[in-house]
Amino acid sequence: MDLGTELKIDVVALTDMGCVRTNNEDGFGYDLESRIFVVCDGMGGMAAGEVASATAVKALVETFCQANGMEASTEDRLYRAILEANQQVYQLSQERDELRGMGTTLVSACIDGRRLLIGNVGDSRAYFLRGGVCAQITHDHSFLAEQVRKGSMNIEEAQASPLQSVITRAIGTAESVEPDIFTGDLEVGDIVLLTSDGLTRYADAKAIASTILSCTTLAEACQALIDRAKQYGAVDNVTCLLLQFLPAEDAAA
């Protein structure tokens, strides 16, 4: 059929302050033509978290797009764009006192033909849905997730801990950063979700799947995920970016 051709991408993204916060330190961005998508969750006093996430989103998308058509592999372009986002946030934090110590998470997807690449730093996540089943792609760089991976805490203990948003890797808090990169193959109908912890503290992979599957459009699904977080109290900002992969050409005949 259309094997080997590029898939058409549908994208919808929403961000919401949530029910408690009075500012939104989350951010998202994308360039559909270059097929790069990103969600960031900033942190830092005053407005620094917003500056961190906005700076990282812009730096990542711009750097990735600038490398379009270059010899570098897509992995390399994604990796370098994440390092550049780190550089720009870090530099800004060094230049201005009120921004000192700011940082942000980053989870990014790029599409290369039928390949999906995910890069992440921190505890914002990527999920993958196929055939009604949802799986988490990324591993949180958080204190609790690391305790669970080491076996020194079980999931129930981690969920009950007050240390929910302590992250162990961030963009912009140090001169260098080590992102994780994941790759996979895409099929028509697949859905990818990039999201901040403002959603994932209220929805596991199963709940994400059932919420998305209960909707008829991608836009509805994105709103339903935000609404779910708000129904549960949304103590944090919530951001969802949904991608759906469709046949390259809408059947015109």
Q: Of the two residues 106 and 116, which places its CB atom closer to Mn ion in the complex?
A: 106
Instruction: Check residue 236 for interaction with Mn ion (CB under 5 A).
Output: yes
Q: Of the two residues 62 and 197, which places its CB atom closer to Mn ion in the complex?
A: 197
Q: C-beta of 43: minimal distance to Mn ion in Å?
A: 8
Q: Which stretch binds Mn ion (CB under 5 A): 10-18, 92-100, 188-196, 224-232?
A: 188-196
Q: Of the two residues 16 and 236, which places its CB atom closer to Mn ion in the complex?
A: 236
Q: C-beta of 103: minimal distance to Mn ion in Å?
A: 12
Question: Please, are residues 90 and 175 in contact by the beta-carbon 8 Å criterion?
Answer: yes
Please report where in the chains the tokens 């999201």 appear, as a residue.
Answer: 195
Give me the residues paired with residue 216 across strands: none
43-62 residues near Mn ion, rule: CB under 5 A: none
Question: Please, are residues 120 and 109 in contact by the beta-carbon 8 Å criterion?
Answer: no
103: nearest Cα among 140, 163, 54, 142: 54
Query: d(Cα 119, Cα 97) in Å, to the nearest integer?
Result: 30
* Per-position x/- string for 116-135, each x denoting binding to Mn ion as judged by CB under 5 A, each - no binding: --------------------
Give whole-number Cα distances, 218 to 115, 146, 189, 243, in Å: 21, 33, 11, 8
Q: Of the two residues 41 and 140, which places its CB atom closer to Mn ion in the complex?
A: 41
Q: Which stretch binds Mn ion (CB under 5 A): 51-59, 65-73, 196-204, 245-253?
A: 196-204
Expressed in angstroms, the distance from the first to the final Cα of the chain is 14
Q: Which residues bind Mn ion (CB under 5 A)?
A: 41, 196-198, 236
